Structure formats: structure tokens, C-alpha cells
Amino acid sequence: MPGRRLEFRCSLAAAQVPCGMAVIRDVQVTFDCESPRRVARFWCEVMGYELAAPPDGFSSWEEFDRTLPEADRDSWAAAQDPTGNRPRLFFQRVPETKVVKNRVHLDVRAGAGLVGEERLAALLAEEQRLIPLGAKRVLLQYADDENESCLTMQDPEGNEFCLD
């Protein structure tokens, strides 16, 4: 009708929220890296994920790789939440190495709901679990009057992430 504004509504859970487009339900986080399978295995350990299954007809990724030219082997990998509730992580090989700080990073909720010394202990325990897997500490920020402790780390290829 002339002069009348139409409002589109999408259902998000049980609530009605206004929107102009469909609600995006799935997201995949993509990492550029040098060694996709190695980095994917690291993140599987961090997140409690599993490596995606090899393509149909192959019992392992190594078997699949043998069918490819050497330059195409280990060119990508994916890590997925076994429950299907959290985002898939995709790792793709790129020729260049990482040279600057990430513009986007993951916050791994190692101390969620904890405060003070209990939170710090949880962060440090998770750090000790991840270091043998190839993680490196960048910066430990202790709690102050406004913020709780958090720990900035790097994965085996230098991608920053936070334990918080």
C-alpha cells in the first residue's frame, strides 16, 4: 500500500526478530596456513573437534593424498565439532607465510564463568596442555579492577588466539 511500510520478520528461535534477509545459521572459520593437516590436528585438540573424514572411497587422508600430484597433497583440512553445534574450522594452504597480527582471532573459553585466582589457574592449566601440542604464549594479562585475566597465545603457525 502506498505510504505504508512493510516489515519483514524472520523467526530466530522462539523470538520474532525483524530482518531483511534470511538468518545465517552456519558459519565456517577459515585459516590460511602452510601445513593444513598439522594445524587442523592442533585445533582439534584445542576445541575437542575431529578431523573431517577423508573423501568417499578412501580410508585415510594419506591414502587420498597418494592419488594427487605431490604439489596438491595436504592442501586443505577441516576440523568439525562431533556434536555439530559449533562452527567448522577449515584450513587451506597458501604460499605466503603469516607476517602481521591476525585481524580476527578465536577466543577459547577456558575460564568462562570463573574469576580471580580460579580463572587464572584454569587458563594456566589449559596453556600447559596446549604448549606440548605446539602453542606458544604471547602475553598473560592479569586481572585488574575492570577485566579478568586472559592469555594470548599462538598456534603452531603463529595465528593468535586467546584463552579467556
SS3 content of the chain, % helix, strand, coil (to 5): 25, 25, 50
Give me the domains of the chain, ranges plus CATH numbers.
25-97 (3.30.720), 104-164 (3.30.720)
Alpha-carbon gap, residue 101 to 164, rounded angstroms: 18
How confident is the prediction along the chain (164 residues), in pLDDT tens digits per residue? 444 443 434 344 444 555 566 666 688 999 999 999 999 999 999 999 999 999 999 999 999 999 999 999 999 999 999 999 999 999 999 998 888 888 889 999 999 999 999 999 999 999 999 999 999 999 999 999 889 999 999 999 999 999 99
Alpha-carbon gap, residue 78 to 89, rounded angstroms: 6
Alpha-carbon gap, residue 89 to 30, rounded angstroms: 6
* Rg for the chain, CA atoms, rounded: 20
Number of Cβ within a 10 Å radius of residue 164 = 18
3-state secondary structure of 24: coil
pTM of the model: 0.80
Angle 91-141-105 from CA coordinates, rounded to 5°: 20
* Residue 98 buriedness (CB in 10 A; 0-12 / 13-18 / 19+): middle
